[in-house]
Chain A
């Protein structure tokens, strides 16, 4: 009886999550279909501060105060222009916007380093999907699992993930900064990724 209750609560929580997860994706579809300005404003209000924070924590923040704002503007402009490429059945809105922000961050850093690039960032970081490995159901399961388990990670595992993703540090940089061996950093990341079921040993 008790377990049935828990089961039901979990299912309710799950369907709540699906809805909120869909919410941003639906807005992106409205932008694509109707050039819906209200939808765009909502997306901007939700993701703008995230992108700014993402930029500020990274080395873009060190370039100057205006750079994080520039990244917000660039990413949001791309979101508007590329909304027609977004496919809700393939990715959560937050994943899609993260990949755009990540790629534009790379581009911005390359521009400031005056690198002559012979290859487009999105060619290297946006490889066309290989069919099959993550069918829709599996992907949704992964999204739910990562969403709900991220908060439960021990702080030291969360910390290293944050430094790699947000501060664009290599595992070696993180080890140097925290004054711990590289092996410890790697094992924290490995434990975290195991809990989030991101790592599955390859079948040989």
Chain B
């Protein structure tokens, strides 16, 4: 299935430039695993990074002292530290599998916080919506990014399947509904908590936290 919803190009640019916090970058990097189109754009943005680095205004007049060269020679003469084993992004998010995460919430809608040690700008969570269930209407004061990992959901703007990346800002209100045939699991990033509407709002705000 092809991915239909993509991060905006400015997000890809900031990702390629290395400016996103861990939680944000994790969202983009995971989307790239589903999306050859954005992956290819990021490759080109990295080519651009190399070109820009070679043409920074003062790089022609910049000098590196011979000490740095000497220190580098000393560093490479030492044995390299053992590289830390590389893991897949999903292994980092849920080392013991999705079901072992600390799921919280209300029957059909559950969330699990994913703490990657860098929450300078916002929080990363996983969101599980039972097949056919609806997330109550909520709005956002900040930004909410959602990436579908499994299953799918829809709202008034469209249908989203695995790999789709949806960005909502404070002007949006929505009430996503999971597809009927399977549970929907998403990765979500918020820079401010959601605000549920209606008489249940105050309770939901306490129970469902991303």
Contact = CB atoms under 8 A, between A and B. Distances in A.
Interface string B138-151: 00000000000000
Interface of B: 2, 4, 6, 9-10, 13-15, 17-19, 22, 25-26, 29, 32-33, 36-37, 39-41, 43-60, 62-65, 67-69, 71-72, 75-76, 80, 84, 86-89, 92, 115-118, 120
A146 B44 contact: yes
Contact of A95 (B13, B46, B71): B46
Given A49-B64, A123-B92, A133-B39, A81 B47 contact: no
Contacts of A168: 17-19
A113 B119 CA distance: 12
Given A94-B50, A125-B25, A49 B59 contact: yes
A50 interface: yes
Contact of B43 (A77, A134, A170): A134
A99 B49 contact: yes
B18 A164 contact: no
Nearest to B9: A199
Contacts of B55: 150-151
Q: How large is the interface on A (under 10, 10 to 19, 20 to 34, 35 or more residues)?
A: 35 or more
Nearest to B14: A170
A202 B32 CA distance: 13
A48 B86 contact: no
A193 B9 contact: yes
* Best-buried of B45, B55, B57, B64 by chain A (most CB within 10 Å): B64
A149 B68 CA distance: 34
Contact residues of B: prevailing secondary structure: helix
Q: Which of B6, B60, B72, B120 has the most CB of A within 10 A?
A: B72
A42 to B, nearest CB: 12
B51 A147 contact: yes
Contact of B92 (A56, A95, A119, A171): A119
A101 B50 CA distance: 10
B29 A150 contact: no
A95 B50 contact: yes
A52 B62 contact: yes
Interface in A138-170: 139, 142-143, 146-147, 150-151, 161-162, 164-166, 168-170
Contacts of A197: 44
A198 B41 contact: yes
Nearest to B6: A202
Interface in A100-139: 101-103, 105-106, 110, 113, 115-120, 122-125, 127, 129-130, 132-134, 139
B23 to A, nearest CB: 10
17 contacts: A49-B62, A49-B64, A56-B58, A56-B62, A69-B67, A72-B64, A77-B75, A80-B72, A92-B47, A98-B46, A99-B46, A113-B120, A133-B36, A162-B52, A165-B49, A171-B14, A204-B4
B46 A127 contact: no
Given A49-B60, A105-B18, 17 more contacts: A51-B53, A52-B62, A52-B64, A53-B53, A118-B116, A119-B89, A119-B116, A119-B117, A122-B86, A123-B29, A123-B86, A123-B87, A125-B29, A127-B33, A130-B32, A146-B51, A186-B10
Given A142-B44, A164-B14, A44 B59 contact: no
Contacts of A76: 72
Contacts of A199: 9, 41
